[in-house]
Structure 1
Amino acid sequence: MLSLRQLQQFLAVADSMSFRQAADRLNMAQPPLTAAIRQMEEQLGVRLLERTNRITGLTAAGQVLRDEARRTIAQAERTIALTRRAGAGLTGSLRIGFVATAVRHIVPTLIANFRDTHPDVALELMEAPSARQVAALLDDRLDLGIVALPLPTGAEREIATRTVLRSELVAALPERHALAREPTAPLALAALAHEPWILFPANEGPGLHDRIVGACAAAGFAPEVAQRAVQMETIVGLVAAGLGVALVPALFKTTGWSSVVFRAIDGTPVPYEVALAWRRNDGSAALAALLASYAARNPGE
């Protein structure tokens, strides 16, 4: 089998029709080049060049080898280029999960900025609660999650995180509720002790669920859950329908829910944090490129 080096040597001769010019182009002496072409002819069992004391043309076999050599070298160069692009995270695919609250504040810029610089990386997006994303990451069904912290107990051993949003939880009240009359005043969480609550199931976001229940316990009560919903957006909608109260991210104060009043919690804030999450042992170049892209645009986080 002919090597790429042999094909390059033959092409240099075929293109210039001169051993001397081809040798100069290849940065080698002429005698070794002449010997290399003769060796190729012996290896193939055909004459490649018409020559007397100089090259006068290509044989039919030489013309075929010239055309095929050009295609082979072009494909080899393309293979090398694509391999290098894959190694730099410029090609491939990424499966990305996200919680609903990330749609407005994180997903657009994260995705748009990455697609600007890595248009050949295919992105598959999936909305899912934090616990489902963590399970998918651990099972290698997801490459990157955008999750609400904290992670389920023990998950941090295998999953790394980078916090991308810090906020706090606020009380969401139906606008006709008696406690909604002073929207700008902080509200004591204990005032909601006997209210019907809307809360997501503990198994869908155990870390954040524990924070909410823990804050209620610190205020001296356990929330009486009347309705359950998975997504925060749905929870706010149920509050708007007058079905109960809830603690939701302060981000919802800017989303235009006209029939819901949001009041800050008096005393120690209940934090709400969203983070990028990925497997610690994930060697994906595309994932590394996305994380590096985000870090470059957000160096202070």
Structure 2
Amino acid sequence: MATLTLRQLEQFLAVAETMSFHRAAERLNMAQPPLTAAIRQLESLLGVRLLERGNRVTALTTAGAVLREEARRTLDQAQRAIELTQRAGQGLIGALRIGFVASATRHVLPPLISRFRHTHPGVALDLTEATTSQQLAALDEDRIDAGIVVLPLEPEVGLHIAQRRLLKSRMVAVLSADHPLAVAPGRSVPLAALAREPWILFPPTEGPGLYATIVNACVAAGFAPHVVQRATQMDTIIGLVAANLGVGLVPEALASTDMASVKFRRLTGPGTPVPYEVALVWRRKDPNPTVAALVDSCTGQDV
């Protein structure tokens, strides 16, 4: 079976569209004799006449007309393949699997995704809600390409996971609306004032860094929290507090939640502020160009 090159198709198409070896040679930026020879070789390869010609080209044969249309389609497809390959290499098309902690949906995830979709509409996004620990495991197992997690991470994680901080904030106390500290005057409470309270806390297995941050803050305030309930979602912690099961700490961004059943109070005194930081994480040696594009689109700082 005869095999054609893109260059042969390009040469024939130039002749077929200009109906002139001279003009086709000019279009291809080559001399006319080599072009004439190339068309003869093409006809010999295919075993058919492509052009009706005497001293000049007068018409395409039936076979030539068919090859003209197929050459146009093939060259267009080849150009499309080049463009798509280049765009994929630049991270402009492809797929991206992103994990995120639930609390990031308030202020971090929406602008990040909106900005990325605006600049990279050709990238398909697959978003998965998961805890920090679940996302780090998913990165290790190549089930996600990037994640939005709560800092700090364990030191050994940084050996293979890169980080870019997206949010630097603090945690606030959440109290039931009828709690004595909630009805007292003022918009703040000392962290030490929560020493004798039952606590609803994030489990250490799902976010050891955040858990350690909270416990260390309590220790600095002179007590160890008495944990009676655990919840992986900040909204769940708020709901359990509303049910009068205890007190908790949640990101300050959630303090805008309009709930009559709970009150949010800024923390003061020893152990405060209690930091709450969110970061984008990805595998350091990931060759996926869409990951690099996502990182480039983020505002923040490497940590």
Q: What is the deviation of 1:135?
A: 0.9
Q: What is the deviation of 1:67?
A: 1.6
Partner deviation per Cα, 1:148-195 (whole Å, 9 max, x = no partner): 101134111111111111111122111111122336354222222221
8 Å Cα contact 2:164-2:301 kept in structure 1: no
Q: What is the deviation of 1:279?
A: 0.8
Report the identity percentage.
62
Alignment of 1:78-117 (within 5 A): 78-117=80-119
2:231 is matched with 229
2:74 is matched with 72
Alignment of 1:1-301 (within 5 A): 1-182=3-184, 184-267=186-269, 268-295=272-299
Q: Following the alignment from structure 1 to structure 2, what is the Cα–Cα distance between the partners of residues 226 and 96? A: 33
8 Å Cα contact 1:196-1:225 kept in structure 2: yes
Q: Normalising by structure 2, report the TM-score.
A: 0.94
Q: What is the deviation of 1:216?
A: 1.4
8 Å Cα contact 1:97-1:125 kept in structure 2: yes
My pick for the range that moved more, 234-243 or 57-66, is: 57-66
SS in 2 for 1:265: strand
> Over the residues paired in the alignment, what is the CA RMSD in angstroms?
1.7
Change (3 A) 1:286 1:178: same
Partner deviation per Cα, 1:24-64 (whole Å, 9 max, x = no partner): 11111111111111111222222221111221212222222
Q: Following the alignment from structure 2 to structure 1, what is the Cα–Cα distance between the partners of residues 121 and 220? A: 49
Task: Tell me the amino acid that sits aligned with residue 112 of structure 2.
Answer: L
- Superposed structure 1 runs of 4+ greater than 4 Å apart: 298-301
Give ranges in structure 1 of 5+ residues lacking alignment. Answer: none
Task: Tell me the amino acid that sits aligned with residue 276 of structure 2.
Answer: Y
8 Å Cα contact 1:183-1:261 kept in structure 2: no
SS in 2 for 1:247: strand
My pick for the range that moved more, 177-186 or 283-292, is: 177-186
SS in 1 for 2:152: coil
Q: Following the alignment from structure 2 to structure 1, what is the Cα–Cα distance between the partners of residues 179 and 19? A: 92
Change (3 A) 1:184 1:251: farther
Q: Following the alignment from structure 1 to structure 2, what is the Cα–Cα distance between the partners of residues 144 and 129? A: 13
Change (3 A) 1:300 1:133: closer
Q: Following the alignment from structure 1 to structure 2, what is the Cα–Cα distance between the partners of residues 10 and 69? A: 8
Aligned residue pairs, count: 299
Q: Following the alignment from structure 2 to structure 1, what is the Cα–Cα distance between the partners of residues 162 and 301? A: 18
Q: What is the deviation of 1:300?
A: 11
Change (3 A) 1:6 1:137: same
Partner deviation per Cα, 1:120-154 (whole Å, 9 max, x = no partner): 21111111111111111111111111111011341
My pick for the range that moved more, 41-50 or 230-239, is: 41-50
Q: Following the alignment from structure 1 to structure 2, what is the Cα–Cα distance between the partners of residues 25 and 185? A: 77
SS in 2 for 1:140: coil
Task: Tell me the amino acid that sits aligned with residue 23 of structure 1.
Answer: A
